[in-house]
Amino acid sequence: MKDYVIISGLILDDNNLGTAALGYGAFSFLNIEKQLSDYKIIKINFFRNLWRYRNKKSVVQQVKIGGDIFDVETVHIFFLYYWFISLFKKKTPFGRLSDILKRTEYVAAINGGDGFSDIYGTKTFKSRLMDTNLAMICKIPLIELPQTLGPFSTPSNYKLAERILKYSSKVYVRDLAFKQELDKMGVQYELCKDLSYYMQPEKIDDLEILPKSVGLNVSGLAYSNKFRALSNKFDNYPFFIEKIINMFQEKNIPVYLVSHSYNYITPETNNDDLEANKAVYHSLKNKKGVYLVDKKLTSPQTKYMISQFDFFIGTRMHACFAAIYTQTPVLGLAYSYKFKYAFNQYGLDKYIVDIVDLERENIALLLSEIVSFYERRNEIKEKLNNIDGE
């Protein structure tokens, strides 16, 4: 047995708590499948700025997951080592990277949960594949952890994806969005829950949620309406959010504004949920029964908080996953195709509202639908109660 496992895309302190949840979940998932506790976990950071990293040393972090403790070493490698291996298709005869690759049992790829695709552009797709490329060149087994695969708009990207998937020793998917293509490729796959399912909630002692409350996750991406290729897709999202809050206020139902992608110290421009939630809260003329969750929480803590709501409305996919996997009745405000496949996986395809290019004149009808979903939340809960038995 070799010494190391490389988890590609492992980020436990990411602004996006969904990305962090994938990392936490990867430990538990791999420990079930592969006895991960027998290995040291390696996270490779390829850098270009020699001056910035001139004195950087590898850092070993202990991560506690349930009753297990994992050693995670972050190794800083100058990108030219990767370039050499990628160009000449062979290991370097020297250096720390060469030693790691010789002693690696397998590489497990997270790919951001939905990043094995070119929907965010070719550059973003390929940027996630450095560890994957090393595995293929060095003949190290490759595992695709549960994720959404595809789609691909560029034939060359599709061919690259096909080559990777055919090489992979195991392919796990969290939905059947790419089923037809996988069948066409002749790639065997296993349908699993999203990695965040395997992340255990962590109780928060100093946060009390009122009974019968609704959690509302406001997305900074949609609220700013200025995020990259998704700019100008959500003109009426702020108005819609305000009306959702007003509707629950009229029914005397407490509403908590929940963030799922944010940096408590340095907010990410046009993509920070906490900044959006603050803007929503301060814009309300009537704040009665509305609570802004202004705390720096980890992904496991946020999952616990979401589990305490009577009903949850989420715009971030992994905020919705946190509700689904804690059997919390949920409604998704969808801005991406991935909502459809994820919710459909659990028989919740009816419980989605599309917010892309939302017309203001349709909002009254959508609010009545949300009321109906809320009143039928016990039906949703019954569907969710079957998840562990699947």
Predicted confidence (pLDDT) at residue 328 exceeds the cutoff of 60: yes
Contact indicator for 128, 8 with CB cutoff of 8 Å = yes
User: What is the CATH code of the structural domain delimited by 214-389?
Assistant: 3.40.50.2000
Predicted confidence (pLDDT) at residue 320 exceeds the cutoff of 70: yes
The per-residue pLDDT for 174 is 94
Average pLDDT over residues 78-106: 88
The whole-model pTM stands at 0.90
The per-residue pLDDT for 273 is 98
Average pLDDT over residues 170-174: 97
9 CB-near residues (< 8 Å, 6+ apart):
22, 23, 109, 110, 111, 112, 115, 128, 131
Predicted confidence (pLDDT) at residue 353 exceeds the cutoff of 90: yes
Residue 384: alpha-carbon gap to chain centroid: 20
Q: Which of 28, 22, 16, 39 is nearest to 64 (CA)?
A: 28
- pLDDT-derived band of residue 93, with 50, 70 and 90 as boundaries? low
Higher-confidence position of 1 and 200:
200
User: What is the CATH code of the structural domain delimited by 4-198?
Assistant: 3.40.50
Q: For the segment 12-25, what is each residue's pLDDT rounded down to a tens digit?
A: 999 999 999 999 99
Predicted confidence (pLDDT) at residue 292 exceeds the cutoff of 70: yes
Average pLDDT over residues 295-316: 97
Angle at 250 between CA 246 and CA 254, to 5 degrees: 75
Q: For the segment 34-52, what is each residue's pLDDT rounded down to a tens digit?
A: 889 889 999 999 998 877 7
Predicted confidence (pLDDT) at residue 210 exceeds the cutoff of 90: yes
CA distance 361 to 359: 5
Predicted confidence (pLDDT) at residue 79 exceeds the cutoff of 80: yes
Q: Which of 368, 78, 328 is nearest to 209 (CA)?
A: 328
Number of neighbouring beta carbons within 10 Å of residue 293: 17
H/E segment holding residue 18: helix 17-34
Query: In the chain, where do the E strands start and end?
Result: 4-8, 40-47, 59-65, 68-78, 104-109, 142-147, 170-173, 190-191, 214-217, 255-258, 290-292, 311-314, 330-334, 352-354
Number of neighbouring beta carbons within 10 Å of residue 141: 14
197 CB-near residues (< 8 Å, 6+ apart):
25, 321, 325
Concatenating the DSSP letter of every residue in 182-233 gives HHHHT---EE---GGGGSPP---TT--PPTT-EEEE--HHHHH--SGGGTTS
Q: How many residues does the chain have?
A: 390
Higher-confidence position of 66 and 352:
352
Report which residue type is found at 286: N
Q: Give the domain ranges of the chain.
A: 4-198, 214-389
CA distance 320 to 206: 23
Structure tokens at 263: 């940096």
Predicted confidence (pLDDT) at residue 55 exceeds the cutoff of 90: no
Structure tokens at 180: 């037809």
Predicted confidence (pLDDT) at residue 390 exceeds the cutoff of 60: no
Higher-confidence position of 1 and 264:
264
The answer to whether the 4-198 and 214-389 domains have the same CATH topology is yes
The per-residue pLDDT for 337 is 79
Average pLDDT over residues 166-189: 97
Contact indicator for 132, 109 with CB cutoff of 8 Å = yes
Mean pLDDT of the chain: 94
Predicted confidence (pLDDT) at residue 182 exceeds the cutoff of 60: yes
User: 161-171 burial, b for 16+ CB within 10 Å, e for fewer?
Assistant: bbebbeebebb
Three-state SS sequence of 316-340 = CHHHHHHHHCCCCCEEEEECCHHHH
Average pLDDT over residues 331-356: 92
